[in-house]
Structure 1
Amino acid sequence: MGHNHSHHHHHSHKNVNGRNLLISIFLNILITVAQVIGGIISGSLALLSDALHNFSDVLSLIVSYIANKLAGKEASFRKTFGYKRAEILAAFINASTLIIVAVLLIVEAIERFQNPPKIESGLVIWLSIIAIAGNGFSVLLLKANANDNMNMKSAYLHLLTDMMASVAVLIGGLIMKYYQIYWVDAGLTLAIALYLIVMGYGLLRDSYRVLMLFTPEDLNLEEVVADIQTVEKVANVHHVHIWQLNEEEIHFEAHIDFTEDISLSEFDMILNKIEDLIFHKYDINHINIQPEFNKDDAKDVIVQD
């Protein structure tokens, strides 16, 4: 019986995001092919690991692009929420691949530490410069929307970490060229992998929390319930569920016991007060309330259904 205070659409942003993702996909395909060829010719594991990460970027960007397009689709009788969760799912997949790639790189780096091969450093240097330029441009394209969209943030993190990895490969190439210290290739690969794990874990945790319908971390459920119970004629708030559908929608549903057997029109007025209260204080913008009076049911805030 609740309604939505603010239902903003972001189709123009979605179009811009989609275009920028498409440009980044083509750039990363070119970089990946160049690095694979260069890594095989030069014998550089750091360059091949960077190519592998770039390939994971291509896959993650494709996932993000598809999710970006799906998220704009309308709801239907068969899909009442539409595809609003698509971008959260994409963020979870991309964060997972980031960590999987990192583990594979760690295994390869440890093997290379035991027997560091001689590497053609000149090719490594030039290809890493190309990768820095391509990824740097892609990072700039996606940066604007990375703060308010998990899907765009996952794509942005893939590209940012790859740019940082290319910088590390460049430094390694210079050290190998001028000092002939070839174990630095494996050392940098290990450092890149650890950095990927650190960057991917936070996004994996956040997207997992949304997919599992956990209470948003910045919301205190006890405070929300206490505030609603200050509204006139509200006796008790129970059977509460609160979850985040995506980055734009927080949903709240609850049973509310009233002190009187109020009319439907009076309930609507009280509902408006509740909606105003929790929207402006907690940014909860989708509310569904079941009104009750002297109903014999469990009155706990959290009821195990």
Structure 2
Amino acid sequence: MGHSHSHNHSHEVQGKNLLISIVLNIGITVAQVIGGLLSGSLALLSDALHNFSDVVSLIISYIANKLVKKEASLTRTFGFKRAEIIAAFVNAATLIVVAVLLINEAGQRFQEPPQIDSNLVIWLSILAIAGNGFSVLLLKKDSSSNMNMRSAYLHLLTDLMASVAVLIGGILMKYFQLFWIDSALTLGIAIYLIVVGWDLLKSSVRVLMLFTPDDLALEEIVKKISEIPEIKNVHHVHVWQLNEEETHLEAHIDFNEDISLSQFDVILEKIEHLVFHNFNINHVNIQPEFGKCDDKDLVVQD
């Protein structure tokens, strides 16, 4: 059996930025809860609840970021490489749960819009915009290459947008007495949370369930490998992501001749080079076969 490792090194996620964002969001959450209770604004309280979910998600992301750097061991041969994917899943799920709670509360408030202290809403939303805006800038770079950081970034970005909406609502309440806008904004924030949360939830579930990555076609990978002259058949294929930096290929390969181990190593190098440069697959595990009577289907139920 051949097994190769070709790591694709990405820039290291900065845990310090996460820590700064956590501290900022704790401060924003406390201020918004107090302000929401004093002003009677559900939108402000919903923004506070979302900010609290941000704090939880950022803490989860921070812990995952630390865990993923731990070395592998005899009892954990992959180490904690999947910690960040689990964090992304948990964070996405919390976004959806928070959204459902907000929709329920907004529906009740629509029937009897309460009087709201708009001045407090305006100033606290400005505070939240400043804090979340700074946090978004801190995490933006890492969010493009790391699912865990993207989940934290999305939490903060949606909260930034929510705070902008709350500010607009506060202005409309102050100058036009449109107090129903508070519930309408809460509903809009909740729907947006569901949209972004569901997309991230699906992505993290695909990785956790070892599904073939969306951007890879199994038939195309097998076709390319089968073009190597010494290979007769490629079957029993699995392609999955361990995390966002490691994509694995496992397959059984029939050879036209009963080749030696050294000959197999040469062909294995060809396969590694081919799948890495064409499909960005950086871990290859091949079981060589010659004249073996087994299932030759592309995908085989283990």
Give, in angstroms, the shift of residue 200 of structure 1. Answer: 1.1
2:6 is aligned with 1:2: no
1:255 alignment partner, SS class: strand
Give, in angstroms, the shift of residue 202 of structure 1. Answer: 1.1
How far apart are the structure 2 equivalents of 1:206 and 1:7? 20
The equivalent residue for 1:186 is 183
2:142 alignment partner, SS class: coil
Q: Deviations over 1:125-160 (max 9, x none)?
A: 000000000000000000001011000000000000
Assess if the C-alpha contact under 8 Å between 2:10 and 2:245 holds in 1: no
Matches within 5 A, 1:6-45: 6=7, 8=9, 10=11, 13-14=12-13, 16=14, 18-45=15-42
Give, in angstroms, the shift of residue 9 of structure 1. Answer: 6.7
How far apart are the structure 2 equivalents of 1:233 and 1:224? 16
2:84 is aligned with 1:110: no
Assess if the C-alpha contact under 8 Å between 2:28 and 2:128 holds in 1: yes
Give the AA of the match of 2:74. F
How many residue pairs get aligned? The number is 301
How far apart are the structure 2 equivalents of 1:93 and 1:9? 24
1:243 alignment partner, SS class: strand
How far apart are the structure 2 equivalents of 1:133 and 1:111? 30
Matches within 5 A, 1:191-270: 191-270=188-267
Give the AA of the match of 2:221. V
How far apart are the structure 1 equivalents of 2:27 and 2:236? 54
How far apart are the structure 1 equivalents of 2:270 and 2:189? 52
Matches within 5 A, 1:94-109: 94-109=91-106
Give, in angstroms, the shift of residue 2 of structure 1. Answer: 2.2
How far apart are the structure 2 equivalents of 1:9 and 1:227? 27
The percent identity for this pair of structures is 70
Give, in angstroms, the shift of residue 260 of structure 1. Answer: 0.3
The equivalent residue for 1:293 is 290
Assess if the C-alpha contact under 8 Å between 2:7 and 2:246 holds in 1: no
TM-score by length of 1: 0.97
2:286 alignment partner, SS class: strand
How far apart are the structure 1 equivalents of 2:254 and 2:225? 11
How far apart are the structure 2 equivalents of 1:162 and 1:4? 40
Structure 2: gaps of 5 or more residues: none
Give the AA of the match of 2:164. V
1:144 alignment partner, SS class: helix
TM-score by length of 2: 0.98
